[in-house]
């Protein structure tokens, strides 16, 4: 192929029912396509301020330090760990899937001493285990865990885990990438000190930003560090000068201006629907999907009591080929579902009902496509 045969790219745009990204609505795409402003243009700075306020509402927090990091969810994760973990700090990480494992790696790379408590894939983190680990490690500074474990479809009991961490005087870092706007999440009420999320899951925005929020307690720890944050780009002391309060904004990096337009629009859309309505819609459409999948004989990998509505993990039936089934869904039915990840690779499918993708019409499309493929 020669370069001259390459022209503009037009995606086929299948329906996205995997673990993210989810379908981006036309209104968000329209926002993205607005003219680019200078990144210190006063009207862009005004938009940044509004974006922070909207995000505070969606996170249910009064934290001043609430903003999007200019990079995907994984960068928000790093921002939390590199800022809060100082060399030698003991951090308990609860792992019951892939994303808890990434937290563990972040603690180690930040020079912290990681204590890992593990629970089996598909099960919840057991609060008793966290309590026992805190008893055994009274010098623990931080407890970290994933609220919605996208690799298994499990919801961890964030409120209870944070309450235990607080009994022992610890800060809490919680991954809310898949939970934000999909299931109830209360940053302040649950005493979450630092959290990172993503735009491309239940907010249905384009990928590439990571909403984060930090409590005053977390800020105190960052301000009183004895060593500088090892990452220049993710050092919150520096980022604050750009996203911070007050009129004077100092150049730190060039914000992804158009992505911030899209993010702002997605937050406006969620709040126009209403946060609780959004949570309820995810639950209702999940129940509808559950009926459809169970009528096909598919079984969920996760107990109903702590199953995520926005991420449905089902076992692949015996005799059915994983990759070719997903390829057929994509090629013949314009539908993307997710493969299993980590321990669940080849064994389970991950069917996402996130944000704009979370509709009964999409469930109908998915169940009828699976019916046709599985009956062949
Ligand atoms: C998707 C996801 C991430 C990573 O987000 P990226 O935007 O892909 O970097 C982290 N944690 C969880 C629970 C996720 O589902």
Helix (H) or strand (E) holding 261, with range, is helix 257-273
User: Which of 100, 150, 310, 352 for a ligand 1 pocket mutation test, highest count of atoms within 8 Å of Cβ?
Assistant: 150
Range of the structural domain that residue 303 is part of:
15-21+275-374
Note the pLDDT tens digit of each residue in 128-141.
999 999 999 999 99
Backbone angles phi and psi of 81, in degrees to 5: -75, -45
Question: What's the domain count of the chain?
Answer: 2
Q: How confident is the model at residue 84 (pLDDT cuts 50, 70, 90)?
A: very high
Instruction: Match 């969606």 to its residue by tokens.
Output: 58
pLDDT confidence of residue 4: 86
Domain-embedded: residue 5? no
Q: How far is the CA of 4 from the centre of ligand 1 (A)?
A: 37
| Contact yes or no for 75/175 (Cβ under 8 A) | no
Domain-embedded: residue 3? no
Give whole-number Cα distances, 97 to 118, 222, 238, 266, in Å. Answer: 9, 28, 33, 28
Note the pLDDT tens digit of each residue in 58-77.
999 999 999 999 999 999 99
Return the SS3 of 346: coil
Query: Could you say which DSSP state residue 143 is in?
Result: E
Q: Which atom of ligand 1 is nearest to the CA of 72?
A: 7
On whether the pTM is more than 0.95, the answer is yes
Backbone angles phi and psi of 372, in degrees to 5: -65, -45
Query: Could you say which DSSP state residue 126 is in?
Result: P
Domain-embedded: residue 181? yes
Q: If you take atom 3 of ligand 1, which residue's CA is the nearest one?
A: 73
The finding on whether 338 has its CB within 6 A of some atom of ligand 1 is: no
300 with 363, same domain: the answer is yes
| pLDDT of residue 1 exceeding 80 | no
Neighbours of 271 (CB within 10 A): 14
Return the SS3 of 190: coil
Q: How far is the CA of 78 from the centre of ligand 1 (A)?
A: 12
Return the SS3 of 230: coil
Domain-embedded: residue 195? yes
Looking at the DSSP bridge assignments, the partners of residue 67 are 212
Tell the burial category of 359 from Cβ atoms under 10 Å away from its Cβ (0-12, 13-18, 19+).
Answer: middle
pLDDT confidence of residue 291: 98
pLDDT confidence of residue 246: 61
Q: If you take atom 8 of ligand 1, which residue's CA is the nearest one?
A: 73
Q: CA 28 to CA 263: how far, in whole Å? A: 8
Q: What is the CATH number of the domain that holds 297?
A: 3.90.1150.10
Give the end of a domain, one of 238, 271, 304. Answer: 271
197 with 332, same domain: the answer is no
Q: Which atom of ligand 1 is nearest to the CA of 200?
A: 7
Give the end of a domain, one of 251, 271, 291. Answer: 271
């Amino acid at each position: 192929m020669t370069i001259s045969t390459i022209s503009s790219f037009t995606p086929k745009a299948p329906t996205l029912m995997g673990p993210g990204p989810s379908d981006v609505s036309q209104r968000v795409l329209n926002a993205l396509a607005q003219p680019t402003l200078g990144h210190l243009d006063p009207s862009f700075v005004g938009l940044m301020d509004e974006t922070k306020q909207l995000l505070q509402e969606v996170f249910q927090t009064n934290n001043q330090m609430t903003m999007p990091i200019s990079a995907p969810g994984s960068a928000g994760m790093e921002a939390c760990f590199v800022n809060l973990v100082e060399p030698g700090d003991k951090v308990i990480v609860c792992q019951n899937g892939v994303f808890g494992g990434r937290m563990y790696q972040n603690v180690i790379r930040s020079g912290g001493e990681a204590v890992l408590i593990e629970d089996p894939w598909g099960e919840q983190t057991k609060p008793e285990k966290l309590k026992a680990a805190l008893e055994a490690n009274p010098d623990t500074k931080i407890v970290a865990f994933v609220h919605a474990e996208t690799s298994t479809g499990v919801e961890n009991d964030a409120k209870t885990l944070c309450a235990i961490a607080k009994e022992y005087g610890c800060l809490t870092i919680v991954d809310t990438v898949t939970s934000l706007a999909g299931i109830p999440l209360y940053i302040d009420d649950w005493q979450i000190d630092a959290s990172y999320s993503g735009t491309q899951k239940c907010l249905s925005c384009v990928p590439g930003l990571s909403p984060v929020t930090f409590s005053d307690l977390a800020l105190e720890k960052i301000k009183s560090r004895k060593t500088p944050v090892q990452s220049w780009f993710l050092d919150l002391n520096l980022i604050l000068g750009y996203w911070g309060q007050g009129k004077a904004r100092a150049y730190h990096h060039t914000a992804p201006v158009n992505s911030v337009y899209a993010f702002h629009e997605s937050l406006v859309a969620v709040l126009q629907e209403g946060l609780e309505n959004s949570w309820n819609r995810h639950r209702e459409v999940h129940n509808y999907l559950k009926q459809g999948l169970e009528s096909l004989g598919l079984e969920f990998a996760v107990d109903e009591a702590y199953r995520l509505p926005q991420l449905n993990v089902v076992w692949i039936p015996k005799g059915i080929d994983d990759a070719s089934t997903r390829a057929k869904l994509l090629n013949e039915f314009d539908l993307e579902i997710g493969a299993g990840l980590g321990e669940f690779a080849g064994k389970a499918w991950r069917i996402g009902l996130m944000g704009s993708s979370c509709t009964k019409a999409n469930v109908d499309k998915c169940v009828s496509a699976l019916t046709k493929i599985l009956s062949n």
